[in-house]
A = this chain, B = another copy of it.
Amino acid sequence: MTAQHQQAWAAYRTVRLVLDARVARDLEAGTGLSMPDFDVLAAVRALADPPAPGSWLVPLSPTGPRPGARTAHCVRVAALADRMGWSRSRLSRQLGRMERRSHVARVPCELDGRGDDVELTDAGRRALDGAEPVVIASVQTHFTGALTDAQLGALTEICDALTRGPEERGAEER
């Protein structure tokens, strides 16, 4: 491992340490929401009511929408977890906390009695609407505002390559 490689890894780890904390801090201070709260709110709305492609503010699992997702109006917990790249357990617990705060509701799914659908409550929708500009401003301040457009393009490419992972890199071999 060359010094350059070590340096890159350390730089990545450091940014991961500080950048998320800054945005989470802005969000928490401005709205009382945590990042996981915001991610779930945004993902539920996006799945229930698909936006223009490419306009997700939240992390997107490399796996596309799952086969049986039945994305229209019926947001299954597993579909949501898969789309977000979260474990079911993680999402289940997060939904529990958010249900206590009345930001989401779980209603029994009519098409499959084994589980529930997730819905935004009115309070959840309001919280999301209020949080979006805060997140956008914070990302602008701490992320996009710190980089040139060229750097943003390069970073996107780099992140995509890393996300793809070693398995999917067989042939292209660098």
Chain A positions within 8 Å of B, measured between CB atoms, are: 1, 3-20, 22, 54-62, 85, 136, 139-149, 151-166, 169, 174
Given contacts A6-B56, A54-B6, contact A151 B158 (CB under 8 A): yes
CB-based contact B146/A11 at 8 Å: no
CB-based contact A15/B142 at 8 Å: no
Instruction: Tell me, in angstroms, the Cα distance from A105 to B20 when the chains sit together.
Output: 31
Given contacts A10-B57, A16-B16, A55-B6, contact A146 B166 (CB under 8 A): yes
Q: Which residue of B lies closest to A11 (CB)?
A: B159
How many chain copies? 2
Interface residue from B6, B22, B61, B142 paired with A57 (Cβ < 8 Å): B6
Interface residue from B8, B147, B163 paired with A156 (Cβ < 8 Å): B8
Interface residue SS majority, chain A: helix
Q: How far is the CB of A87 from chain B (nearest CB, A)?
A: 10
Q: Considering the complex of A and B, which 9 residue pairs feature the smallest CB-CB distances, nearest first?
A: A11-B159, A13-B59, A15-B159, A8-B152, A5-B144, A14-B59, A8-B156, A11-B156, A154-B154
Interface residue from B8, B54, B151 paired with A7 (Cβ < 8 Å): B54
Q: How far is the CB of A39 from chain B (nearest CB, A)?
A: 9
Residues of B within 8 A of A22 (CB): 165
**Other than the known A10-B60, A18-B165, what 14 A-B pairs have Cβ atoms closer than 8 Å?**
A1-B140, A4-B156, A5-B139, A7-B156, A8-B144, A9-B143, A9-B144, A10-B58, A10-B59, A14-B59, A14-B61, A16-B20, A147-B162, A151-B158
